[in-house]
Amino acid sequence: MNRMEVTPGETIDGYLVGEQLHVGGMAIIFRASHPDIPGPVLFKVPKIQDGEDPTVIVGFEMEMMILPRLSGVHVPKVYSVGDYASRPYIAMEFVQGDTLYPTFERSPLPPMEVAAIGVKVATALIELHKQKVIHHDIKPSNIMIRDTGEACFIDFGLSRHREMPDLLEAEFRLPMGTAPYISPEQVRQNRADPRSDIFSLGVLLYHLATGERPFGLPRSQQALKTRLWRDPIPPRKIRKDIPPFLQEIILRCLEVDPAKRFQTPARLAFALQNPDAVLLTERAERMNRNGIITALRRWLRVRALPPPEPQAYAPNSGSIVLVAVNLDEDLEYLAEAVRVHTERVLGSSGDVRLACVNVLKLSAVFVHDPFDAEGRNIHVQRLVELKDWARPLGLATDKISFHVLEHMDPAEAILEFASKNHADQIVVGAKGRSQMRRFLGSVSSEVAARAPCSVTLVRATDPRSIKQEANAG
């Protein structure tokens, strides 16, 4: 039994939860009401009832961080946000309108209707990017068309705010996004380029214009990667009535190299609104895909590319200090010693960002049960405890981030995180010495021996053992 389950009829922070409206891959949505809010409220909770996928937890946390910072008609208004310490939820405006999905289902559409929809979505992207957010999941079901006509983005679980740590990039290795719409940058695990949203919008325009997906429905990592070297069938090959200007725009959006796309959604919107001003290139008249030789050359070029540099933290965010915190009950004294040392680091250094890490150790033999005996999600509980540990540090949200890593080897998890995110320093607690620890080794010694940066071992001895020695003497 999961204690975070939400059921119609209960009241949470003044919100009376009503009927369940939708169950998605990462969240469940209810209709709700509140005595201080006129009209219905959309009440969104993470879908962690029957799964243990940590991306759901982290993605919902990102949405709780990002969505309240946004404003304007192109995003839903947020009334309040819960917390994993009690009940995680987002209470937001009930947008009057429908998603783009029914329109998508009746594609192909007349070319000028495709262009008009593109203008609405690109206009919404202009405002979103101005607020320093990359959506990273542009698709029909995540776009509402208000009754007043404006496009409104929903579902920010995969989004990135350019001035906040990207928890998804920091913690996970796999590309994040919806397979048919994911950009080449996302395939290569680069989430820092806002032009990714322009590629995804190009995929949407292609489908609206042709009734087909430009890259099919990939179901594997390898299938996803083919868009790095294989271009789609030109839209006019599928539908002869698509005008050259629209094919030019769509294929430009779908360029593998972001530098060859529209550089801003404003330029894309202008092109869609002004067909006569679109500079036509060979893209406009293309009737066939590039030949196999060209595809092979691109494949070889992609294979030679170095892996992208992780950018989970903003370039000007100062030095990154990874603090590894052991939250076991019998090691509270060690966690306290690590916090005391962390305070010293903050006091003696200039611009510092803390990445607080806890490792949830998985068993190589037994299936991991995501819930404890009291029905609490263990990953969520660790996240709450990690935030409680850091609260006395008094850091602003843009100076600290929290990461619960699931791994069979805690030392390896810490080292991988430090390497991927270019940590400048690691602070890790070291238990008191013992014959057994010297024989078997320890997490702290393994981290110190292999870390790609400087490591501070914070040693502490269990006060209970000192008391026992004193009593024995």
Q: Out of 192-201, 245-254, 316-325, which region has the weakest mean confidence (pLDDT)? A: 316-325
What local confidence, expressed as pLDDT, does residue 315 receive? 54
- Encode pLDDT of 371-418 as tens digits: 777 778 888 999 999 999 999 999 988 888 999 998 889 999 999 999
Where is pLDDT greater, at 222 or 469? 222
412 backbone dihedrals φ, ψ, rounded to 5°: -65, -40
Residues 263 and 146 in one domain: yes
**Where does the pLDDT of residue 301 fall: very low under 50, low under 70, confident under 90, or very high at 90 and above?**
confident
Residues 345 and 453 in one domain: yes
pTM for this predicted structure: 0.84
Residues 89 and 110 in one domain: no
- In this predicted structure, the answer to whether residue 264 has a pLDDT above a threshold of 70 is yes
**Where does the pLDDT of residue 464 fall: very low under 50, low under 70, confident under 90, or very high at 90 and above?**
low
- Encode pLDDT of 99-108 as tens digits: 999 999 999 9
Q: What is the CATH number of the domain that holds 29?
A: 3.30.200.20
Q: Starting from the edge strand earliest in sequence, which strands make up the sheet with 151-153, in order?
A: 97-99, 143-146, 151-153
Length of the chain: 473
Residues 23 and 154 in one domain: no
Per residue, the 3-state secondary structure of 239-281, as one string, reads: CCCCCHHHHHHHHHHCCCCHHHCCCCHHHHHHHHHCHHHCCCC
455 backbone dihedrals φ, ψ, rounded to 5°: -130, 135
Question: What is the domain range of residue 401?
Answer: 319-472
CA distances from 285 to 82, 115, 234, 276 (A): 53, 18, 9, 16
- In this predicted structure, the answer to whether residue 241 has a pLDDT above a threshold of 80 is yes
CA 112 – CA 319 distance, rounded (Å): 50
CA 201 – CA 254 distance, rounded (Å): 9
**Which residues are paired to 46 by β-bridges?**
27
Residues 127 and 225 in one domain: yes
Q: Which amino acid is at 316?
A: N
DSSP string, 211-235: SS-TT----SHHHHHGGGT-PPPPH
Contact 143, 153 (CB under 8 A): yes
In a domain, 440, yes or no: yes
